[in-house]
Homo-oligomer: A and B are copies of this chain.
């Protein structure tokens, strides 16, 4: 730890007490013009900088937010964090970052460390919010927190999109394009609350349309090559015409796998993703996907958290659903014999029932 010049040094140099220096620097009490000037000069000459550790110890506030996400490899979380940063910076908060790699034990450890570091609040994406015992810990410690992406059953502070209706929209787009034999491809975190919701919404929509139930395909998220699993799928359902992948990164990986298996995209098979990461629009074929307002989610979650912190209360226990948007793309192709266009005008951003109407200034 550097910056060895302390309030004390400044005080001595300015010929006054530390209390005075503190008052001047914080504008928290009276001080004569002369004293003020002397202090300012001493500060400049000494290159004084507050030691925030000392301040935190005494104020019992660290002005630091803890973030815990599964990984940084998925750009979705990078975007979330940038959103959080934007809000944090506005209010003068710093960010302490931890990744848990979809491992509940790591999650536990990370949260523990964050607590020990005395963060003022926590922004989390848990593997499964409903099964997490960390939530109880946080409540008990009375530490404000907001979940991001998670869509828990219980009433917990969370910011996400309605995964169920979003998946229904995907189902609808697929059905409209003439796809009936499809599969839902999910990472090993299918045990995740949000993936579960997507799967349910997806299958329900198919059921309501009288279409055969989508096949569930689980892939190991660590693995880079999913060809074996995909081969298994085609053995089980040879006439599969479309895949709904639980996130864009997975969709990209699957597309690469399919091509290595000799398929042409989207002619041989259609793909839909989820998240709307930046690259999904740059590639060919462009990826049809559900665009989530990642940056805004991070920003909203953080500003809500900060608000709670500053007012010494918990963020409202309830899920804030932000508007998402299904974005058609070249990766989703209409099946022959169908005349409904697949790539019609983009569907408008649809606000789900629970979502607020406040305007979002997306980045």
Contacts and interface: CB of A to CB of B under 8 A. Distances in A.
A165 B330 CA distance: 39
A256 B112 CA distance: 44
A252 B282 contact: yes
A116 B52 contact: yes
B143 A2 contact: yes
Contact of A61 (B1, B112, B120, B142): B1
Contact of A282 (B96, B97, B255): B255
Contacts of A118: 1-3, 51-53
A51 B138 CA distance: 16
A116 B72 contact: no
A54 interface: yes
A97 B259 CA distance: 38
A287 to B, nearest CB: 11
A115 B62 CA distance: 14
A113 interface: yes
A112 B49 contact: yes
Interface string A76-107: 00110110010000000011111100000000
Contacts of A1: 56, 60-62, 118-120
A209 interface: no
A50 interface: yes
Nearest to A85: B99
Contact of A96 (B61, B95, B120, B279): B95
Interface in A150-197: none
A146 to B, nearest CB: 15
Contact of A82 (B72, B94, B256, B259): B72
A323 B99 CA distance: 27
A82 B101 CA distance: 10
A64 B53 CA distance: 12
A211 to B, nearest CB: 30
Contacts of A73: 75, 78-79, 82, 278
A17 interface: no
Nearest to A286: B256
Contacts of A115: 2-3, 49
Interface string A34-50: 00000000000001011
Given A85-B97, A252-B282, 19 more contacts: A1-B61, A1-B119, A1-B120, A2-B118, A2-B141, A3-B116, A49-B115, A51-B116, A51-B118, A53-B53, A53-B62, A54-B57, A72-B72, A75-B78, A94-B113, A96-B97, A256-B281, A259-B284, A283-B284
28 contacts: A1-B56, A1-B61, A2-B118, A3-B118, A49-B116, A51-B116, A52-B116, A52-B117, A52-B118, A53-B62, A53-B117, A53-B118, A54-B57, A64-B117, A72-B78, A72-B81, A72-B82, A73-B75, A73-B79, A73-B278, A75-B78, A85-B99, A94-B98, A95-B98, A96-B97, A252-B279, A253-B282, A255-B282
